[in-house]
Structure 1
């Protein structure tokens, strides 16, 4: 599906651009100029659109880029609800302020941690290089709304307050192995999904063939807020494969409730 629309940039220069719509389970829009080049959508504001495509809106200041579900010709109303809802939610939102429900009460942060892969284990360095999936969940009632159709959004390029979780026994900066994704539900609950590549300290002794390696998680001690961590799930990925190691969760040493820091332990055994 294709259409054309007239767009203007901040300098008031106008240009006819094509909009290419790819429809699968959702709609994805790409802006293309007459010369065939891709156009940075954040530099343009939509003012007229043909009736062949649903109306869309670009917000230059917040760089909001949204995807709406399409169903039975109702895409126009879906986009209207998305833009109106997000406009209202983020009009006065301050990402630097924690979403505390009650005065001096900590923000409850839930974690799900999955060990996906072991890249390497260095006995001399006492380090474990691994790949984790980290799902972080918390609630921010400032971002709740009453849904009519749209019950959740994936937030792309929208900044929200996030928990300050870090690895106490990390030996280097944590690297993102995939683009993080944050989903906002109408109740104000947020879920952030991350793939993390990291090195952590693992105590070792010579002539060992099995090792218990911890992941120690904590939140930064910020003066403006308190956060309480809890782990709802910790596991080794069922598709975990290694030519060198067997890996399983050490349930005896894993401490996930009311601990500071939280300690998650996996056992590694040479094959």
Structure 2
């Protein structure tokens, strides 16, 4: 009953044990897991900054994976994309000596987390799932996020190639935090887009390591017939054939002209 009670309390708090060594005893494993939660979260205050590096800045590593371009609006100068973030930092208040349980998971709201924000965002980011954090026995916390974001991009109206950035920074913190050497940016292996291809990507940061920019160089793709989706030319040639004349409804013809005009405009842009 004691073990069942511990499991019920852990589940009620929204905590789920993530992994353990193979071949462990189930009862002792659950008992240890319950003791870990009751121990490391006892008197833990998620509103207080981790003291690990104080007075030096807390090191936060961000591994960003660019998943997809949903839209790149040249006129509005905005890029809508999907990005994965894996954010890591250490909080020694949540460390323990492992016997069978090597790591646990918890709701993000139960631990302190760095306030990392997109500094060039155009509209609020939309999370694609409810994120949780993984806590290792050494106090290392891993926070995985997948989000749809719309960021500003200084597009060039008549260029095939565009350079867009996704910038991150720390906001609203009274304690210094910096991006660590493990901060990286990559493009997903399964990335694919019918309109844009990625030519290059890179990471840039300021001297204080408090801001980081993920830089993408993209180019519009070409049609198979050699035509370009950028700056296309459109023309309409009408020829009357007296042997095969047709009466075209004016409303249908108007819709056709509107469609043709829209195609020309989008091809030019």
Q: Same fold (TM over 0.5)?
A: yes
- In structure 1, the partner of 2:173 is 222
Structure 1 stretches of 5 or more lacking a match?
Answer: 1-47
Query: Is the 2:108–2:133 contact (alpha carbons within 8 Å) kept by the matching residues of 1?
Result: no
If the length of structure 1 is used for normalisation, what is the TM-score? 0.73
Deviation of the 1:233 alpha carbon: 1.9
Q: What's the CA shift for 1:59?
A: 2.8
Does the alignment pair 1:263 with 2:207? Answer: no
Kindly state the Cα deviation for residue 66 of structure 1 after the two structures are TM-superposed.
2.5
SS of the residue corresponding to residue 80 of structure 2 reads strand
| 8 Å CA contact 2:18, 2:103 repeated in 1 | no
Aligned partner of 1:106 in structure 2 is: 57
**Structure 2 equivalent of residue 35 of structure 1:** none
Residues 1:59 and 2:14 aligned together: no
C-alpha separation in 1, matches of 2:18 and 2:164: 43
TM-score, L = length of structure 2 = 0.74
Task: Please give the secondary structure, in 1, of the residue aligned with 2:27.
Answer: helix
Q: Which moved more, 1:63-72 or 1:239-248?
A: 63-72
CA distance in 1, matches of 2:15, 2:53: 33
**Structure 2 residue corresponding to 1:132, chosen from 55, 58, 83:** 83
Indicate if the aligned counterparts of 1:245 and 1:268 stay in contact, CA closer than 8 A. yes
**Which structure has greater strand proportion?**
1
Please name the residue that 2:267 is paired with: none
Per-residue displacement from partner, 1:194-218 (whole Å, max 9, x unpaired)? 1011000000121111111001110
Alignment match of 1:243 (pick from 164, 173, 194):
194
Task: Give the Cα–Cα distance (whole angstroms) in 2 for the partners of residues 68 and 75 of structure 1.
Answer: 14
* 1:81-115 per-position Cα deviation (integer Å, ceiling 9, x unaligned): 10001100001100011112243211110000010
Indicate the residue corresponding to 2:74 in structure 1. Answer: 123
* 8 A Cα contact 1:182 1:190, kept in partner: yes
Q: Which runs of 5+ in 2 are unaligned?
A: 222-269
| Whole-angstrom CA distance in 1 between matches of 2:54 and 2:183 | 25
Task: Return the structure number with greater helix share.
Answer: 2
Please, what is the CA RMSD of the aligned residues?
Answer: 2.4
Q: How many residues align?
A: 218
Q: CA deviation at 1:155?
A: 1.5
Within-5 A mapping of 1:117-196: 117-156=68-107, 159-196=110-147
Structure 1 residues 193, 222: closer, same or farther in 2, change over 3 A? same
Check conservation: 1:100, 1:106, Cα contact below 8 A. no
- Taking the TM superposition and a 5 Å limit, the aligned residue runs for 1:54-93 are 56-59=6-9, 63-67=13-17, 72=23, 74-93=25-44
Cα 1:137–1:249 change in 2 (3 A) is farther
CA distance, structure 1, for counterparts of residue 199 and residue 104 of structure 2: 35
- In 2, Cα distance between equivalents of 1:102 and 1:197: 32
| CA distance, structure 2, for counterparts of residue 189 and residue 217 of structure 1 | 21
The corresponding residue for 1:32 is: none
Deviations 1:129-183 (A, max 9, x none): 0000000000000011000011101224761000110011000111101221310
